[in-house]
Amino acid sequence: MTSSETKSLLFAHFANKTTPLQQRMIEEWLKDEANQERFYVWLLEWENQLPVYQPEMEAPLQRFVAYMATSQLTDNEQDVRNNEPEEAPIVPMISTRFRWIAVAASVLVILALSGWLNRNRVLYQTHQTAYGETRTVQLSDGSTVTLNAHSSLRVPRFGFGRAAFGNRSREVQLMGEAYFAVRHQADNQKFVVRTTNGFDVIVHGTEFSVSTRMHRANVMLSKGKVQVDYGVGKARKQLMLQPGDLVTLNQPDRPQLKHRVSAQPYSAWTDHRFVFDNMTLAEFGQLLTDTYGLRVEIPDKNTAQRTLVGSFRANTADELLQTVSELFDLTVVRQADTVLLKERD
């Protein structure tokens, strides 16, 4: 089947409209690991197309948080105060700690009213990028995070790093790839990047990049110092990085550490640049999958092992494909989201 036919079949499967024979075909297709990530990408796309009513919660939530954080007295309380004698003692303002506890209590009410299934939308704000898109997000603590294509960052809406919530760290969750510029806090609050790849990054104030791609998981430190926390069996181990250190975690329990590595190839994408250091065309095809959602086919094994060296700027997948095809004298055949790379006849 072609990629478009497979996608149509999966969409029918998500809607419970496939026959037992078609379901077996999908099971066989999923045995290929390269198809598993595409399965979840298409599932997310199918869910986003559903004509299901989703109440707009973002703007009301922001207004509610702002109100709870700044309001001091209700109208009734103000009326009572206005009627008090001038010599009456001044009632102290509600403390910041109490105000945020009130926010937390109110959030529980929102959860009850909106339904437990919406709890993540209430408790967390998710910043995400589409294929081919990069985006910079500024967090409430002044830190900035630049997301690469097809990535997401989940940030707590309430109590991010606030002692009132019993949390002395700033925790976010990353899926995909991002470049972090973390602002140091006077009280030395930790900044923690959680991943679903079996490792976490713990920092105090620094610049670094993190990739959690299926075929490319790593941490590259540009400035400062970070600690990589990873699991070996039931135990947790730590690895300290210095500027110029690169740790590869394709196998999270077996990190590979390199020193004095140039950070540029790992953050060049923030400026729409691609830096290749002996990257094979097969690896280049995976890069196109991660960044632009394309399925790349290279029938000839020798062609797939040819290597790329150099730095190239490209704003789109077609620009990047054109550059590579000219370098290697390749023919590029693109149909929808499938790309075929082969030697010219």
Name the residue ranges covered by the structural domains of the chain.
Answer: 3-49, 58-120, 129-266, 272-343
What's the 3-state SS for the chain? CCHHHHHHHHHHHHCCCCCHHHHHHHHHHHCCHHHHHHHHHHHHHHHHHCCCCCCCCHHHHHHHHHHHHHCCCCHHHHHHHHCCCCCCCCCCCCCHHHHHHHHHHHHHHHHHHHCHHHHHHHHEEEEECCCCCCEEEECCCCCEEEECCCCEEEEECCCCCCHHHCCCEEEEEEECEEEEECCCCCCCCEEEEEECCCEEEEECCCEEEEEECCCCEEEEEEECCEEEEEEECCEEEEEEECCCCEEECCCCCCCEEECCCCCHHHHHHHHCEEEEEEEEHHHHHHHHHHHHCCEEECCCHHHHCCEEEEEEECCCHHHHHHHHHHHHCEEEEEECCEEEEEECC
d(CA 215, CA 233): 21
Q: What is the pLDDT of residues 243-256, one digit of tens each?
A: 999 999 988 889 99
Exposed e or buried b per residue across 227-254, where buried means at least 16 C-beta atoms within 10 angstroms of its C-beta: ebbbeeeeeeeebebebebbbbbeeeee
d(CA 136, CA 216): 21
Q: Is 92 left (phi over 0), alpha (psi -120 to 50) or beta?
A: beta
Largest CA distance in the chain: 96
Structure tokens at 108: 């529980």
| Exposure on the CB side of residue 234, measured as CA atoms within 13 A | 0
Q: What is the CATH number of domain 272-343?
A: 3.55.50.30
Contact 267, 223 (CB under 8 A): no
Among the residue ranges 31-45, 104-118, 233-247, 293-307, the one predicted with the least confidence is 104-118
pLDDT beyond 60 at 72: no
Q: Which comes out higher in pLDDT, residue 72 or 337?
A: 337
pLDDT beyond 60 at 184: yes
Residue 140: predicted pLDDT: 87
Residue 157: predicted pLDDT: 78
d(CA 107, CA 294): 41
Rounded mean pLDDT, 64-69: 58
d(CA 268, CA 177): 12
Using pLDDT thresholds of 50, 70 and 90, give the confidence band for residue 31: confident
Contact 114, 56 (CB under 8 A): no
Decide which of 2.30.110.10, 2.60.120.1440, 3.40.50.300, 3.90.1580.10 is the CATH code for 129-266: 2.60.120.1440
- Percent of all residues in the chain with a pLDDT value above 90, rounded to a whole number: 44
d(CA 311, CA 273): 7
Query: What pTM does this model have?
Result: 0.66
pLDDT beyond 50 at 80: no
Whose tokens are 């973002």? That residue is 58
First to last CA, the chain: 26
Residue 63: predicted pLDDT: 62
